[in-house]
Chains A and B, each alone.
Chain A
Amino acid sequence: MIELKNISKSYDSIDAVKGVSFSTEKGQIFGLLGPNGAGKSTTIKMIMGILNPDSGEILFDGRPLKKVDKDKIGYLPEERGIYKKLTVREFILYFGMLKGKSRDQLDVELERWLTFFGLHEWSLKKTEELSKGMSQKVQFITSIIHDPDIVILDEPFSGLDPLSMDKLREAILILKDKGKTIIFSTHVMDQAEKICSDIVIINKGSAIVSGSLSKIKSSYGSNSVVVEYDGDGSFIKNINGVKSVINYPRYVEVELEDDSFCNSFLQEVVGKLTIRKFEKVVPSLHKIFINSVEGVGIDE
C-alpha cells in the first residue's frame, strides 16, 4: 500500500534520512524501528506530507502519494497534542471531519471506540480534565476515527500503564483484522516483537535491516541462549565462544560465536552459578536491534 523508494531528507547540513526504502502490505503491522534521532519521525512526516522529501518517491497503492491520500491515513504523532478547551467528542469529531468524513459517519465510530476504551462517560468532558492515559486513548481514537486504510502510530505505547497498553494492543489487532495497514514506530523492541510481522530498522537516517521479522530472526541464526540464574554472572562475557551479552534484571541473553559453543558454555556456567533456566533461542529483536545499531553486523 505504501512504498518508499530511496527517500532522503536533510536539514541544513544534517542528513536526517538517507535513501530509505521499504514497502508495506494491506493488513500488515509494520515496525519502523530505530534509536532516538534515527530518522523514524522524519520518515513518518514525509509519508504524511508534513515534510517533503529532498529526493526519492513515496507511492500509495502503486502511484505517487497525493494530498488527497492524507484522508486515507490516520496519524498518531509522537508528540501528543490536544485542545484543552474542547470536549472529548468535539476534539475527535473536529479532526475526523478534517479527514473528510461527515458528522453522521463519525458518530457511529465514535460511540464504538469511546465504549471500547471505557471513555463514553467522558465524551462531554473537556479534554483538560482527562488523565494522561485517557488523553492518549482519545488521541488514538482521533487518529483512527475516520476509518483510514493506513494507520501510522509513532510511539503509541509511550507513557501508558500496562492495562492501557493491552487495550491499545487489542485495538491495533482489531484494526489489523479489518485489513488496515499499521505502521508502528518505536524504539522499544519488546513491543515491536509482539505485534509486528515486518520491520525496518533505521539508524542515522539509513535503513540497516528490513524484511519479515521471522526471516530476519532465522537468518540471524540460533546461536543465542537465555540463562536465568542466581549468583554473580559478571564472568559470562569472558567465557570462550561468547560473542556478546545483554544483561536483563533477571536473566542474560548470550550470543555465542557458533552453535557448537553451546555445551561448553553450559558447563562453564553450571559450575559457577545456580541455573534456574537455560534455553536455546532465536535472537530477540532487541538483540538484533542492538547488534545492528552498534554495527556488530547481522548475517542475512
Chain B
Amino acid sequence: MNKLFLIVKHEFKQISKTKMFIIMTFLGPILFAAFAIIPGYIAVKAMDTEKDSYISIYCEDLDLISYIEDELKNDDINVLVAKNIDQGKESTLNKKSKGFAVIPSNVNEPGTVKYYSETGTDFQYSEQIMDAVNDYVYKMKLGKLGLSKTDSQWLTEGYELKSFKISENGNVDDSDYMSVMIITMAISILIMMIVLTYGITASRSVISEKTSKTIEILLSSVDSNTIMLGKVFGASIAGFIQFTVWFLIASLFIKLGLPLIDADITVVAISAPQFILIFAMFIATFFIYIFIYVSFGAGAENEQALGQIQIPMQLMLMLPMILNTSLIQNPNSPITVALSYIPFTSAIVMSTRLLINSPGLLMVLLSLAIQLITLVGAIIFSGKIFSISILRKGKTLNMIELFKLFFKK
C-alpha cells in the first residue's frame, strides 16, 4: 500500500476520531451561530422597546400629550400623565413606568426635554419621545405659519431609501447592506476557522511526532517529504469534510430554516462561477497556510513555542475580519484592492469583493494566480524547513531564523 496514503489515513484517523472533531463537525454551525449571531440578535433586540410598557410625562400642553400618546401607541408604549414632577419621578422609581419626561409647553421657544430613568441609558424610549415631540413642534410651527394640517403633512413627507446592487450584465439584486454583511462575514469566518483549525492541527501533529520521538521511526521508513505531505493531506481531508458539512448545514438553514422563523433577511445569491472562484481561493489559501504551519511545527520545540511562532500568520488571517466593515463599505479602495492580491488575505478579501461588486474576472484570476505561485513557494519552503529542522533539538526558530535556514546552502 502506498506509504503516503498510509500516513494520510493515519493522520486523518487521529484527527477524526476525537470527540472534538465530531462535536465541531455537527454542532460547529450552531456554536458559531451561538457565538456570532445570537449576541448580535440580542443586542438588536435590546434596542427594541418592551411591549405594553409605560412612560410618564409631565407637560402642561394637553394637545402635545395627546399627540405623543398617539405616536407611542404605534410602538405599544403607553403614556402615564403625571400631575407634577414628583409624581412622575415616583412612578419611575416605583417601576410603574420605564422613565419620566418633563416637556416644556411653549412650543414657540427653544426648550429642553428632561428625561429621567433608573439607568439613564435607555435611549430607545427617550428617542421615541423626542421624535414625537419634535414632530409635533415642527407641525405646530408650520401651522403658525399658516399652513393647513394637510399641507403640513405633505411638507413633512419624504422619500425612503432602498439600495440595489447592479452588475455589468444588467442584473439587479435587492440585497441590502445587512444581508451582504452577514454573508461575507459568514464566509470570512468559515474560511478563517477552517484554515486556523487545521493549520494548527497539522503543526501540532508535527510537534507531537517530535515530542513523542516517533519521528525517527517514521523517517526510517519514509522520507521527510512524504511525512510532511501525509500530515498536510490528512489534516486537509478532515478540514474539507468539516467545511462541506458546515456548508450543507448552512445551506439547509437558509433554504428551510429562515422561512420557518420568518426572518427578514434577503440572502445574497451566490452564482456558480462565484462559488467556484471562492472555493478555489479558499483551497489555495488553505494549503498555503497549512504548509507554512507544518514548517512551524518542524521548527518549534514544543506547543507553547509553536503558539508564539504562529502569531504573525494568525494576525494575517484575522486582518480581513477586523477590516470587514470597511471592506464592505469600500470594496474598491486601494487598501481593499491591495489586500485582495496579498495571498495571505486575498481569499477572504477577494471573496468579499466578489459578493459585493464583482471585480473583473481577470482581477480575480490574477489574485488566484498569485495565490498559486505563493502555494508553490510555500511547498518548497516547507519541504526544506521540514527536512532540516524536524530532527532539530533545542531553541525554537522564529520566522526570521526559519527564512535564514531556508536560504542556507
Contacts and interface: CB of A to CB of B under 8 A. Distances in A.
Interface in B205-221: 209, 212-221
Contacts of B218: 98
Contacts of A100: 3
A75 B215 contact: no
Nearest to A97: B6
Contacts of A50: 216, 219-220, 391
Interface string A74-86: 0101011111110
B217 A99 contact: no
Given A50-B391, A75-B217, A79-B216, A98 B222 contact: yes
Interface in B252-300: none
B216 A98 contact: no
B44 interface: no
Nearest to A80: B213
A48 interface: yes
B219 A84 contact: no
A81 B10 contact: no
Contact of A77 (B3, B14, B220, B223): B220
Range class of the B interface residue count: 20 to 34
Nearest to A94: B10
The main secondary structure of chain B at its interface with chain A is: helix
Interface stretch (A65-73, A172-180, A200-208, A225-233): A65-73
A222 to B, nearest CB: 42
Contacts of A45: 216
B6 A81 contact: no
A136 to B, nearest CB: 12
B221 A77 contact: no
Contacts of A70: 220-222
B220 A79 contact: no
Contacts of A49: 219-220, 223
Given A97-B1, A102-B1, A82 B212 contact: yes
B270 to A, nearest CB: 40
A142 interface: yes
A84 B10 contact: no
Contacts of B220: 48-50, 70, 73, 75, 77
Interface residues of A, number: 28
A95 to B, nearest CB: 6
A139 B212 CA distance: 13
A97 B218 CA distance: 11
A102 B6 CA distance: 11
Interface in A88-122: 94-95, 97-100, 102
Nearest to A78: B216
B221 A81 contact: no
B6 A98 contact: yes
Given A67-B223, A98-B222, A85 B14 contact: yes
B213 A81 contact: yes
Interface string B198-238: 00000000000100111111111111000000000000000
Nearest to A79: B213
A83 B221 contact: no
Interface string B1-43: 1010011001000100000000000000000000000000000
Given A94-B10, A98-B222, A81 B214 contact: yes
Nearest to B208: A83
Contact of B212 (A48, A84, A94): A84
A18 to B, nearest CB: 20
A135 to B, nearest CB: 11
A98 B222 CA distance: 7
A192 to B, nearest CB: 22
B36 to A, nearest CB: 32
- Counting chain B CB atoms within 10 Å of each CB, which of A67, A75, A98, A99 scores highest? A98
Contact of A94 (B6, B209, B215): B6
B171 to A, nearest CB: 53
Interface string A38-57: 00000001001111000000
B221 A99 contact: yes
A90 B321 CA distance: 42
A102 B14 CA distance: 21
A195 B391 CA distance: 31
16 contacts: A48-B219, A49-B219, A49-B220, A49-B223, A50-B216, A75-B216, A75-B217, A77-B220, A80-B213, A81-B216, A82-B214, A84-B212, A95-B217, A98-B218, A100-B3, A142-B217
Given A49-B223, A95-B217, 5 more contacts: A67-B223, A85-B14, A95-B221, A139-B217, A143-B217
Q: Which 9 A-B pairs have the closest CB atoms?
A: A81-B214, A81-B213, A75-B220, A98-B221, A77-B216, A79-B213, A50-B219, A48-B220, A81-B212
